C-alpha cells in the first residue's frame, strides 16, 4: 500500500488523492469497524479478521473492511458501520459476523438485534446519523475518525488530507497562516483557552533561528480520552496541523509528547510519521517550498503534571517533570531555552480544517468568544457514554440528556463535573448553561481538556471533592509549598469530614486553604486544584454541613456516616442484596422483606448498589 514516490507539488498530491478516492469508490461497500482502544478491548480486532475471512470465503472482493479509529460511542462497542448506507450496528460480536454478511452485505436487510435501541424511547435506529448520540454532534475534529484507516495514509489523502498543508505551503505566507488561525478564533483545547493565533504570533515574532513545536498529547485527566482517540484514529490530521503551525512559526523540528499509557496512539503515530516521510510530507523541502520539518515522538513517563507546558518541556529535556515559574513563557524561552510553541492534540487537529475551509467558516461555529467545536468525554452515570463533539455553546442539558440519554436507572441528576480533576461541579440549576470557556469559568468550573462526568443523586459531593483532591495530591509534583502541603492538608480535612470527624470551621478552613493554594501556587495544577472543593462547597454546602454537623452522608457514600436499612414496603424479597452482602448481615426469606443486622453490617454499600427496587434506605 505504501507509495514510494515523493509528492513534490500540490499536483502530485491531487493525483494521489484522485487515485486513492477512485480506489475507495471502486468498492461497492465498506465495513468500518471501530478499532479504538475501547472497542479493541471488546474484541474488535477479532471482528476485523472475522469479516475479512468471511468476505474472502464468500468471494466478496468488492467490499472493503476498514479498521478505523474510535467512533466515539464507546458505551456500545464494538461498533460497525456499513457504508455507503451508514447502517449502524453496536455491540457486535464475532458470532454476529456471518449474520451481518448474509443480511446486510449480500442482501439488503438489517440485523435487528444489533441496531441501537434507545433506552428512553425504546426506538430502534438504523443509521448512524439518526442515533441520538450522534444526531446532535458536529464533527470537525473527529471528521475522519470512523471513516478512514489510521494506518493507511492514502485513506487520509482520499478525504482531502494534506490539502491544507499544500495550500499553506504553496499559496500562503507564514503571516497569512497566522492571520487565518487568529481570524478563526480558535482557542487552545488543552484547557487554558489561550487564542492559538496569538500564541503563534508571539512565537513567530521571537528572534532566533531555532524554534520548536510541541504537541501535548499527555492527556492525564481521569476519564478523558479524546486526544488519545484522535492520535489513534486520525494521526495525520495532527501531523498536518503541526506542520502548518511549524511553517507559520518558523520551526523546523517538533516533539510529540504522548503518554506511555497510549501504546496504540504511539504505534499509529509512528506509522504515520514513516508514511509522511516516505511521501515527503515531512523532511526536507516539503512541496518544493523550501520548508523543512520533522517530528519526533517522546513518550511521557506517567506524570499528570507533565501536561503543564513547562513541566512537559522539562520532561522532554530529561529533567524531573516539574513546572517552572513563568515568565519567561515557552514562546519566548522554552525547550532548550528556544522559542517553543505548545498546543494540544485537539488544537492541532483543528488547524487543517481552518486552513482548508477558511477562518470564516470555522468562526461561524460556536459562540462569540469560543469558536468551533469541543470534544467531550462524556462519562459517569449517563446512559450513553463516549466521545461527544459539539459546537461551543451547546448546553449541558443537551449533552447530558439529548446526547447522553439522561441518567442511568432513572435516578436524579445531581451534578456534572467538567474540566478534569481540577474542574468544578455544576449543579442541576445550571444545566442550561451554554458551554464555552468563559461561561464554565464563571460558574467555578473550567473547560479543561473536556472531561464531563455526570453524577446522580447517589454521589456524595464531599466524597467527590476528596476523590479529586486525592488524585491531585498524588499528582502534584511537590515543588511548591501551596500545592504540596496545602492540597495534602485539604485532603486530610476532607478525609476527616467524610469519616465523621469534621469540626466546626472546617468549611471555612477549606475555603481559606483553597483560596491560598489557588493564588499562591507555582503552576496551574495548583492554581486550579481547589476548584473541586470550592465548587462543591459553593453548590452543595448543605452536604458538607450534613457531614460535619449531623455526622451523616445524605448520598449514603461515606461509609463511616451511613447506616443502611431496608424499606420493608419497597423490598420485594428478591434476595440480591442477601447474596451480595460480604458479611452476611442481611437475612430474610424469599419474597418477604429482608432486614439488615446493624451490628454485623460494615457499611460497604454493596446492597445499596445491588437493590433493583431502591429499597435500601440510608440514614
Contacting range for other proteins; rule: CB under 8 A; set: 194-202, 354-362, 421-429, 481-489: 481-489
Strands 212-217 and 340-344, by their bridges, are parallel
Q: How many CB atoms lie within 10 A of CB 93?
A: 13
What does the alpha-carbon distance between residue 237 and residue 352 come to, in Å, rounded to a whole number?
7
Q: Binder to other proteins among 8, 129, 410, 512 (CB under 8 A)? A: 512
- The angle formed by the CA atoms of residues 257, 66 and 49, to the nearest 5 degrees, is 105
Contacting range for other proteins; rule: CB under 8 A; set: 169-177, 224-232, 482-490, 582-590: 482-490
Is residue 480 involved in binding other proteins (CB under 8 A)? yes
Is residue 520 involved in binding other proteins (CB under 8 A)? yes
Is residue 482 involved in binding other proteins (CB under 8 A)? yes
What does the alpha-carbon distance between residue 523 and residue 311 come to, in Å, rounded to a whole number?
9
Is residue 317 involved in binding other proteins (CB under 8 A)? no
Is residue 590 involved in binding other proteins (CB under 8 A)? no
Contacting range for other proteins; rule: CB under 8 A; set: 34-42, 129-137, 169-177, 477-485: 477-485
Closer to other proteins by CB, 166 or 487: give it: 487
Is residue 276 involved in binding other proteins (CB under 8 A)? no
Q: Binder to other proteins among 242, 475, 607, 616 (CB under 8 A)? A: 475
Strands 586-587 and 595-596, by their bridges, are antiparallel
- Shortest reach from residue 522's CB to other proteins, in Å: 6
Contacting range for other proteins; rule: CB under 8 A; set: 178-186, 394-402, 454-462, 513-521: 513-521
Closer to other proteins by CB, 212 or 471: give it: 471
What does the alpha-carbon distance between residue 29 and residue 19 come to, in Å, rounded to a whole number?
18
- Shortest reach from residue 196's CB to other proteins, in Å: 19
What does the alpha-carbon distance between residue 214 and residue 347 come to, in Å, rounded to a whole number?
12
Q: Can you tell me whether residue 430 is helix, strand or coil?
A: helix
Is residue 579 involved in binding other proteins (CB under 8 A)? no
* Length of the chain counted residue by residue: 619
What does the alpha-carbon distance between residue 299 and residue 259 come to, in Å, rounded to a whole number?
5
Count of residues engaged in binding other proteins, rule: CB under 8 A: 35
Binding mask 421-460 for other proteins (x = CB under 8 A): ----------------------------------------
Beta-carbon contacts of 156 under 8 Å, excluding residues fewer than 6 positions away, are: 144, 148, 150, 162, 234, 236, 237
Burial (CB count <10 Å: 0-12, 13-18, 19+), residue 57 = exposed
What does the alpha-carbon distance between residue 288 and residue 178 come to, in Å, rounded to a whole number?
21
Q: Can you tell me whether residue 376 is helix, strand or coil?
A: strand
Closer to other proteins by CB, 384 or 476: give it: 476
Is residue 521 involved in binding other proteins (CB under 8 A)? yes
What does the alpha-carbon distance between residue 459 and residue 608 come to, in Å, rounded to a whole number?
12
Q: Binder to other proteins among 439, 484, 547, 594 (CB under 8 A)? A: 484
Q: Binder to other proteins among 63, 152, 461, 487 (CB under 8 A)? A: 487
Closer to other proteins by CB, 471 or 564: give it: 471
Is residue 328 involved in binding other proteins (CB under 8 A)? yes
What does the alpha-carbon distance between residue 607 and residue 540 come to, in Å, rounded to a whole number?
26
- Shortest reach from residue 489's CB to other proteins, in Å: 5
Which of 331, 99, 352, 320 lies closest to 242 in space, CA to CA? 352
Q: Binder to other proteins among 214, 477, 566, 585 (CB under 8 A)? A: 477
Closer to other proteins by CB, 520 or 617: give it: 520
Is residue 324 involved in binding other proteins (CB under 8 A)? yes
> Measured on CA atoms in the order 190, 191, 192, 193, is the torsion positive or negative?
positive
Beta-carbon contacts of 192 under 8 Å, excluding residues fewer than 6 positions away, are: 524
Contacting range for other proteins; rule: CB under 8 A; set: 161-169, 422-430, 519-527, 543-551: 519-527
Contacting range for other proteins; rule: CB under 8 A; set: 75-83, 247-255, 512-520, 552-560: 512-520
What does the alpha-carbon distance between residue 88 and residue 118 come to, in Å, rounded to a whole number?
13
Rounded-to-10 torsion of CA 91, 94, 97, 98: -140
Which of 491, 483, 486, 484 lies closest to 526 in space, CA to CA? 483
What does the alpha-carbon distance between residue 303 and residue 523 come to, in Å, rounded to a whole number?
15
Q: Interface residues for other proteins in 533-562 (CB under 8 A)?
A: none
Q: Binder to other proteins among 1, 2, 301, 492 (CB under 8 A)? A: 492
What does the alpha-carbon distance between residue 342 and residue 73 come to, in Å, rounded to a whole number?
29
Binding mask 291-310 for other proteins (x = CB under 8 A): ------------x-x-----
Is residue 155 involved in binding other proteins (CB under 8 A)? no
Contacting range for other proteins; rule: CB under 8 A; set: 275-283, 308-316, 365-373, 488-496: 488-496
Closer to other proteins by CB, 274 or 442: give it: 442
Q: How many CB atoms lie within 10 A of CB 96?
A: 18
What does the alpha-carbon distance between residue 491 and residue 498 come to, in Å, rounded to a whole number?
10
Q: Binder to other proteins among 301, 509, 592, 602 (CB under 8 A)? A: 509
Q: Can you tell me whether residue 423 is helix, strand or coil?
A: coil
Closer to other proteins by CB, 138 or 481: give it: 481
Q: For 605, phi and psi rounded to 5 degrees?
A: 85, 5
Is residue 411 involved in binding other proteins (CB under 8 A)? no
Q: Binder to other proteins among 79, 522, 562, 601 (CB under 8 A)? A: 522
> Measured on CA atoms in the order 315, 320, 322, 324, is the torsion positive or negative?
negative
Is residue 473 involved in binding other proteins (CB under 8 A)? yes
Closer to other proteins by CB, 487 or 534: give it: 487
- Shortest reach from residue 307's CB to other proteins, in Å: 14
Is residue 261 involved in binding other proteins (CB under 8 A)? no
What does the alpha-carbon distance between residue 355 and residue 362 come to, in Å, rounded to a whole number?
9
Is residue 369 involved in binding other proteins (CB under 8 A)? no
Q: Binder to other proteins among 489, 511, 568, 617 (CB under 8 A)? A: 489
Q: Can you tell me whether residue 33 is helix, strand or coil?
A: strand
- Shortest reach from residue 491's CB to other proteins, in Å: 9
Is residue 199 involved in binding other proteins (CB under 8 A)? no
What DSSP state is assigned to residue 329?
P
Q: How many CB atoms lie within 10 A of CB 133?
A: 28
Contacting range for other proteins; rule: CB under 8 A; set: 346-354, 469-477, 570-578, 593-601: 469-477
Binding site for other proteins (CB under 8 A): 303, 305, 320, 324-325, 327-328, 473-489, 492-493, 503, 509, 512-513, 516, 519-522
Amino acid at each position: 500500500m505504501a507509495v514510494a514516490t515523493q509528492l513534490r507539488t500540490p499536483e502530485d498530491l491531487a493525483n494521489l488523492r484522485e487515485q486513492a478516492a477512485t480506489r475507495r469508490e471502486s468498492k461497492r461497500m465498506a465495513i468500518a469497524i471501530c478499532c479504538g482502544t475501547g472497542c479493541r478491548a471488546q474484541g474488535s480486532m477479532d471482528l476485523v479478521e472475522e469479516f475479512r475471512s468471511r468476505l474472502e470465503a464468500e468471494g466478496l472482493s468488492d467490499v472493503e473492511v476498514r479498521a478505523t479509529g474510535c467512533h466515539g460511542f464507546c458505551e456500545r462497542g464494538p461498533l460497525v458501520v456499513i457504508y455507503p448506507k451508514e447502517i449502524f450496528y453496536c455491540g457486535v460480536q464475532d458470532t454476529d459476523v456471518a449474520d451481518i454478511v448474509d443480511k446486510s452485505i449480500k442482501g439488503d436487510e438489517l440485523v435487528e438485534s444489533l441496531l441501537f435501541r434507545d433506552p428512553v424511547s425504546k426506538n430502534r435506529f438504523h443509521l448512524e446519523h439518526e442515533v441520538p448520540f450522534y444526531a446532535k454532534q458536529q464533527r470537525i475534529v473527529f471528521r475522519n475518525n470512523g471513516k478512514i484507516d489510521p494506518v493507511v495514509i492514502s485513506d487520509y489523502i482520499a478525504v482531502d488530507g494534506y490539502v491544507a498543508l499544500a495550500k499553506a505551503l504553496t499559496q500562503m505566507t507564514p503571516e497569512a497562516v497566522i492571520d487565518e488561525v487568529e481570524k478563526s478564533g480558535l482557542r487552545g483545547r488543552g484547557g487554558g483557552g489561550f487564542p492559538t493565533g496569538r500564541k503563534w504570533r508571539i512565537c513567530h515574532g521571537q528572534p532566533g533561528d531555532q524554534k520548536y513545536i510541541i504537541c501535548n498529547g499527555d492527556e492525564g485527566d481521569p476519564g478523558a480520552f479524546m486526544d488519545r482517540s484522535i492520535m489513534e484514529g486520525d494521526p495525520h490530521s495532527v501531523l498536518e496541523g503541526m506542520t502548518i503551525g511549524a511553517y507559520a512559526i518558523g520551526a523546523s523540528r517538533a516533539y510529540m509528547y504522548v503518554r506511555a499509557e497510549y501504546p496504540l496512539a504511539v504505534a499509529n503515530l509512528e506509522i504515520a510519521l514513516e508514511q509522511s516521510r516516505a511521501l515527503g510530507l515531512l523532511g526536507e523541502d516539503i512541496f518544493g517550498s523550501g520548508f523543512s520539518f520533522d517530528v519526533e515522538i517522546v513518550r511521557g513517563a506517567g506524570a499528570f503534571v507533565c501536561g503543564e507546558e513547562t513541566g512537559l518541556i522539562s520532561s522532554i529535556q530529561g529533567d524531573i517533570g516539574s513546572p517552572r515559574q513563568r515568565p519567561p513563557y515557552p514562546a519566548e524561552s522554552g525547550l532548550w531555552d528556544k522559542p517553543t510553541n505548545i498546543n494540544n492534540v485537539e488544537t492541532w487537529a483543528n488547524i487543517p480544517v481552518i486552513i482548508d475551509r477558511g477562518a470564516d467558516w470555522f468562526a461561524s461555529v460556536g459562540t462569540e468568544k469560543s469558536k468551533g467545536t469541543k470534544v467531550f468525554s462524556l462519562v459517569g452515570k449517563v446512559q450513553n457514554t463516549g466521545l461527544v463533539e459539539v459546537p461551543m455553546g451547546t448546553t449541558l442539558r443537551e449533552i447530558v440528556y439529548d446526547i447522553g440519554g439522561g441518567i442511568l436507572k432513572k435516578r436524579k441528576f445531581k451534578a456534572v463535573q467538567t474540566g478534569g480533576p481540577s474542574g468544578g461541579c455544576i449543579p442541576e440549576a445550571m444545566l442550561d448553561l451554554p458551554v464555552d470557556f468563559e461561561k464554565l469559568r464563571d460558574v467555578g468550573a473550567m473547560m479543561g481538556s473536556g472531561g464531563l462526568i455526570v453524577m446522580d443523586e447517589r454521589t456524595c459531593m464531599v466524597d467527590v471533592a476528596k476523590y479529586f483532591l486525592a488524585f491531585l495530591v498524588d499528582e502534584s509534583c511537590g515543588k511548591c509549598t501551596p500545592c504540596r502541603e496545602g492540597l495534602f492538608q485539604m485532603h486530610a480535612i476532607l478525609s476527616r469530614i467524610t469519616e465523621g470527624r469534621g469540626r466546626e470551621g472546617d468549611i471555612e478552613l477549606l475555603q481559606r486553604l483553597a483560596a491560598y493554594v489557588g493564588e499562591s501556587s507555582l503552576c496551574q495544577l495548583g492554581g486550579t486544584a481547589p476548584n473541586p472543593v470550592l465548587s462543591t462547597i459553593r453548590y452543595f454546602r448543605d452536604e458538607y454541613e450534613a457531614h460535619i454537623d449531623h455526622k451523616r452522608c445524605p448520598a449514603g457514600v461515606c461509609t463511616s456516616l451511613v447506616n443502611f436499612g431496608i424499606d420493608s414496603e419497597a423490598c420485594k424479597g428478591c434476595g440480591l442484596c442477601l447474596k451480595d452482602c460480604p458479611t452476611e448481615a442481611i437475612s430474610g426469606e424469599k419474597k418477604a422483606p429482608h432486614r439488615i443486622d446493624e451490628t454485623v453490617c460494615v457499611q460497604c454499600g454493596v446492597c445499596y448498589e445491588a437493590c433493583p427496587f431502591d429499597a435500601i434506605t440510608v440514614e
